[in-house]
Amino acid sequence: MNDNDIKRISRLTAILTQLQTKRVITSTAMAEKFGVSVRTIYRDIRILEQAGVPISISNGKGYSLMEGYRIPPVMFTENEANALITIEQVILNNSDSSLVGAYKDAISKIKAVLLYATKDKVELLANRIAVSPAIPNITTSDSLTLIQNALTTFKVLNITYRSERKNEETDRNIEPFALYYTLKESWALIAYCQLRRDYRMFRLDRIIKVKLLELSFKPHELTLATYLKNKEKNFNTPDT
């Protein structure tokens, strides 16, 4: 097996991972990512199809895997595993208990597919990482995963929110738009408030109650970059 064969096998494996990771991906995007021509990507796709991988073209926009098709677990390299374990120590000190629980479940599944030699090194590293006690491990919310689900499925949330200035509680329906994290105030939700008819930033630790409604909303045309740029001009982000 020569170097070209090794590179092709590596690229075919990477293409499979990309297809499972993304809903739709174009041949141009894959060509740019792997530093090859679009024609080469076409040949790679044909090879995968001949090997029995069910690849389809989605409305002429790009390639995708057939619904329900799954690739066997990916083997993580030692460096990739170490990166995940390092992030784990930060996540465990996060202020949202729902995120902590979800990450623990995810990291357990990741550890399960590691090679034995890598598992030993990961366990050693996990025991050699500490988070400064200056960062308090205080749970201030437990709604982050619910909000994430509402954001990605375009579902309206009903919340009871306690304002910071007046310390008043209001009941309102909101359309989740984005999440914002600060070292000072942890997680905040950027959402379109149907009560105020404008975008607002809600600190998760001030959301008293949250309920997922069976009401959908149209995806926002506003981008997160545009929103943050406008907020920066007005000095209204939690950081400032």
For 150-166, give the DSSP string: HHHHTEEEEEEEE-SSS
Q: What is the pLDDT of residue 240?
A: 35
Q: Which of 47, 36, 39, 64 is nearest to 12 (CA)?
A: 47
- pLDDT of 194 above 90: yes
* Distance (Å, whole) CA 61 – CA 27: 9
For every residue of 169-228, DSSP letters joined together read: EEEEEEEEEEEEEETTTEEEEEEEETTTTEEEEEEGGGEEEEEEEEEE-PPPSS-HHHHH
Among 25-34, 55-64, 112-121, 211-220, top mean pLDDT goes to 211-220
Residue type, 13: T
- Say how many C-beta atoms besides its own lie within 10 A of residue 64's C-beta: 19
Q: Where are the beta strands (DSSP E) in 5-111?
A: 55-57, 63-65
pLDDT beyond 80 at 216: yes
User: Half-sphere exposure of residue 30, counting CA atoms within 13 Å on the CB side?
Assistant: 26
Q: Is the pLDDT of residue 45 over 60?
A: yes
pLDDT tops 60 at residue 1: no
d(CA 119, CA 121): 5
Looking at residue 84, its pLDDT comes to: 80
Report the alpha-carbon distance of residue 188 to residue 204 in Å, rounded.
5
| Of residues 239, 233, 237, the one with CA closest to residue 183 | 239
| pLDDT band for position 239 (cuts 50, 70, 90) | very low
pLDDT at 138: 58
Residue 22: pLDDT band with limits 50, 70, 90: confident
Burial class, 100, CB count within 10 angstroms (exposed 0-12 / middle 13-18 / buried 19+) = buried
User: How much is the average pLDDT of 65-89?
Assistant: 74
Q: Given this model, what pLDDT does residue 235 score?
A: 54
Task: Please tell me which residue, 77 or 228, carries the higher pLDDT value.
Answer: 228
Query: Is residue 75 over pLDDT 80?
Result: no
Q: Is residue 68's pLDDT more than 80?
A: no
Q: Which residue blocks in 77-159 are alpha helix, DSSP H?
A: 78-91, 97-112, 116-126, 144-153
Q: What count of other Cβ atoms lies within 10 Å of the Cβ of residue 204?
A: 22
Average pLDDT of the chain is: 81
pLDDT average, residue stretch 80-86: 79
State whether the Cα torsion 57-62-67-71 is positive or negative: positive
In this predicted structure, the answer to whether residue 88 has a pLDDT above a threshold of 90 is no
CB 238 within 8 A of CB 201: yes
Average pLDDT over residues 148-156: 92
Specify which of 9-23, 77-91, 166-180 reaches the highest per-range mean pLDDT: 166-180
